[in-house]
Amino acid sequence: MKYLNTLLFLIICNIAFSQKYKPLVEEGKYWKYEYLHQPESSSCFFFFTEKGEVHHFGKDTIVDNIPYKEILNSTLQLTGPMGSLKFPFEIKQTNVMGYIREDTFARKVYVLPNELMNAPCTESFKEYLLFDFSLEKEDSINECLAYYIYQLRDQYEYPKIDSIKYELDFYGKSRSHFYSFGYFDLCKFWHVPGYIMEGFGFKDGPFRGQLNRRLVKYCEGTLEQCNIISSTKDDQFSRANKIVILPNPAFDYISFRLNESIENATNGYCIRNITGNMLEKESLIDSGTNYIIHTHDFPSGMYILQLL
């Protein structure tokens, strides 16, 4: 009987360990892609590599007092015209195409796209629930995901989760696979089973690509461990003892970040108009964190960002 109790305990521990939630939104995850040249006369024949990208998550960013991480899209260097991806993978330029956050307790991933993001889901600077990994069998997928896959919106009912399986992914890691939606592959002429993976997204990453995009390599670790180098410097916010506001002039939003050298000299910030009236105030800000301030409701004019 004593042996039986021990055996049951080990089995329960193994089940609990296997179902531990795997977060998606973490720094140190890199999805490397190549885009193949696609002649206009054909949608299913691809030739040389015309560009490369790596998608990853960046610095912490505060938007309307909600913490997000940057969604970064970095262009990769090619070996030459009609060449291949240069190795080690070399970043030429990086753009922020939106912001993402994850509620690991509720197992939900939210996206806040900007004008550089293709699709999700789809209005800029409006938060959408992208992935819901708390779903169970026969639950309907969420509206944003249904629109992303099927172009369905404002439906009475969306496709349901057919099954949930704990399986190995392409890289040998065990993840929960949520099977539901499928799609018709235009080039292979058959219906492909669809699924999303906990901690990964779609089979080729958090954001779907066009037909000519190929996932070359997925890696977790440091830039060095993932064979990535950068030929550019993140100098937008690196000027000592200065606050750099981007974009300037602004239309919908501004972004700023404190340098570490002046973190101890400030307790917050406020925004004033040219007559000195305070429009917005925030306290307890940290260096190294981006802050996004919506400005679309501000009348046209000049404004002052003041450190407190």
Q: What is the mean pLDDT of residues 198-204?
A: 93
The whole-number pLDDT of residue 181 equals 66
Task: Tell me, yes or no, whether 6 lies in a domain.
Answer: no
Rounded to whole angstroms, the Cα distance separating 93 from 214 reads 20
Rounded to whole angstroms, the Cα distance separating 87 from 76 reads 10
157 and 265, same domain (yes or no) = no
188 and 149, same domain (yes or no) = yes
The whole-number pLDDT of residue 16 equals 37
167 and 287, same domain (yes or no) = no
75 and 211, same domain (yes or no) = yes
Rounded to whole angstroms, the Cα distance separating 27 from 288 reads 14
pLDDT band at 179 (very low <50, low <70, confident <90, very high): very high
Question: Is the pLDDT at 15 greater than 80, yes or no?
Answer: no
210 and 69, same domain (yes or no) = yes
37 and 117, same domain (yes or no) = yes
Structural domain boundaries enclosing 275:
253-307
The whole-number pLDDT of residue 135 equals 95
Task: Tell me, yes or no, whether 104 lies in a domain.
Answer: yes
pLDDT band at 41 (very low <50, low <70, confident <90, very high): low
Q: What is the mean pLDDT of residues 61-84?
A: 90
DSSP E strands in 64-203: the ranges are: 66-76, 89-103, 108-113, 128-132, 163-168, 174-179, 183-185, 190-192, 195-197
Task: Tell me, yes or no, whether 246 lies in a domain.
Answer: no
Which of 230, 263, 295 is the C-terminal boundary of a domain?
230
Give the chain's largest Cα–Cα span: 81
277 and 147, same domain (yes or no) = no
Of residues 38 and 177, the one with the higher pLDDT is 177
The whole-number pLDDT of residue 149 equals 78
Task: Tell me, yes or no, whether 169 lies in a domain.
Answer: yes
Task: Tell me, yes or no, whether 15 lies in a domain.
Answer: no
Of residues 1 and 24, the one with the higher pLDDT is 24
Instruction: List, for residues 92-109, the tens digit of each pLDDT value.
Output: 999 999 999 999 999 999
Helix (H) or strand (E) holding 3: helix 2-18
C-beta neighbour count of 173 within 10 angstroms: 14
Q: What is the mean pLDDT of residues 264-274?
A: 75
Task: Tell me, yes or no, whether 18 lies in a domain.
Answer: no
Instruction: List, for residues 115-134, the tens digit of each pLDDT value.
Output: 888 888 878 788 999 999 99
Which of 166, 199, 230 is the C-terminal boundary of a domain?
230
- Percent of the chain clearing pLDDT 90 (strictly above): 40
Which of 196, 230, 264 is the C-terminal boundary of a domain?
230
Q: Is 17 left (phi over 0), alpha (psi -120 to 50) or beta?
A: alpha
221 and 297, same domain (yes or no) = no
60 and 195, same domain (yes or no) = yes
The whole-number pLDDT of residue 63 equals 86
Task: Tell me, yes or no, whether 240 lies in a domain.
Answer: no
For the ranges 57-61, 218-222, 249-253, the lowest mean pLDDT is seen at 249-253
How many domains is the chain partitioned into structurally? 2
Of residues 125 and 50, the one with the higher pLDDT is 50
How many C-alpha atoms does 108 have within 13 Å on its Cβ side?
Answer: 13
The whole-number pLDDT of residue 220 equals 94
127 and 271, same domain (yes or no) = no
Q: What is the mean pLDDT of residues 224-253?
A: 68
The whole-number pLDDT of residue 241 equals 43
The whole-number pLDDT of residue 222 equals 93
pLDDT band at 239 (very low <50, low <70, confident <90, very high): very low
The whole-number pLDDT of residue 161 equals 93
The whole-number pLDDT of residue 264 equals 59
190 and 51, same domain (yes or no) = yes
Of residues 292 and 93, the one with the higher pLDDT is 93
Task: Tell me, yes or no, whether 35 lies in a domain.
Answer: yes
Of residues 125 and 14, the one with the higher pLDDT is 125
298 and 213, same domain (yes or no) = no
Question: Is the pLDDT at 2 greater than 60, yes or no?
Answer: no
Closest CA to 72 of 206, 211, 252: 206
Of residues 301 and 139, the one with the higher pLDDT is 139
Average pLDDT, the chain: 81
